[in-house]
Amino acid sequence: MTRSITINNFLLLADTVPLVDVRTPAEFDHGHIPGAFNLPLFSNEERIKVGTTYKQVSREEAILLGFDLVGPKWSGFIKRALEIAPGKKIAVHCWRGGMRSGAMAWALDLYGFEVYLIQGGYKKYRNWVHQQFENKYQLRILGGMTGSGKTRILHQLKAMGEQMIDLEDLAQHQGSSYGTMNKMVQPTQEQFENNLAHELSKLNIQLKIWVEDESITIGKRSVPNPFWYQMRDAPLINIKVDVNHRITSLAAEYGRLDKDFLVECTERIHKRLGPEQTKHAITAIRENRMEDFIRLVLVYYDKTYRAGLTKRNQARVFSLDIDDGSIGSQATQLLNFTNTIPVTEQALT
């Protein structure tokens, strides 16, 4: 049996009904619904052939070519679908809910699957993604200079029951010249947006949500404008941590990285560091004097952070000196402080 279902209704079932995306691997890699499985009706090359035939010959010839290309694959599709959904309940979509998903739904239904066919396909899902960024959220922005431990505190807040979005994890980048940490690979912009929307949809918008202070760009990915504007309007708690503690923490983190990677990243910011600072920083890297290296580059990053802080509405910026204690005590200190500050939810008015 095949049932037509909206994307909103499917998302209510997403935890129990596996989803297959029958678009090409290239389309899937560019952006897909989080958690979906790729079961492509056509390969990348086959889709080009079918599309060319559609445009240059006729719709009918394109359909016949499609049948020729897909014909030998049906058994494999069924076997893979059984691996994905052994309970024989499955959801299917393509780009616009057209022939590709319709054909797959027909075959799966014929075999005995209970099939949910998503109306409007991935295109309708992308509309849903953009709608998530238009929602009004009660954001609290956690700011602080590089090495203040903001990400660790955010995850501790989550462990304590607070709501949190980790933009750097979603973007797979830590926001600086060294942000990939020589191992992270950023998703496409479209996939970053899909992942962010997915995380936002799981939160209660009536309760506060913690987000780390970020530039609009995180590496090569951009925070969607509607959400970014809300971040800029939200109260910012600027935590202040002793500089020596920051240097020690960063030296331990970056000291594990490949030296050639650190040198390459440092050279990329040589115009902002200045020739002498860059030279000394690279020498410190090569000589494994990590605290000296960190101290040199922090001059630039601290200056940049202060400049960015001055561009915010100062009535919405609240500073807090964080004690050198356990991560749990720091998170508790932050929560206690946040409960004392006057907050007007500009984004909700």
- Structure-block tokens of residue 128: 């849903």
Interior/surface letters 49-64, b for 16+ CB within 10 angstroms, e for the rest? ebeebbeeeeeeebee
Q: In angstroms, rounded to a whole number, what is the distance separating the alpha carbons of residues 11 and 336?
A: 36
Q: In angstroms, rounded to a whole number, what is the distance separating the alpha carbons of residues 38 and 242?
A: 49
Please choose, from the candidates 211, 162, 168, the residue with its C-alpha nearest in 3D space to the C-alpha of residue 192.
168
Q: In angstroms, rounded to a whole number, what is the distance separating the alpha carbons of residues 217 and 229?
A: 13
The helix/strand/coil state of 182 is coil
Please choose, from the candidates 235, 204, 202, 213, the residue with its C-alpha nearest in 3D space to the C-alpha of residue 305.
213
The verdict on whether 265 is a catalytic residue reads: no
Place of tokens 């979906």: 36
> Out of 94, 104, 153, 218, which one is annotated catalytic?
94
Q: List, in sequence order, every beta strand (DSSP E) within the chain.
A: 2-5, 19-21, 37-38, 89-93, 114-118, 138-144, 163-165, 208-212, 217-218, 221-222, 236-240, 317-321
- Structure-block tokens of residue 311: 């561009």
3-class DSSP string for 270-334: HHHHCHHHHHHHHHHHHCCCHHHHHHHHHHHHHHHHHHHHHCCCHHHEEEEECCCCCHHHHHHHH
CB 44 within 8 A of CB 25: yes
**Annotated active-site positions, please?**
94
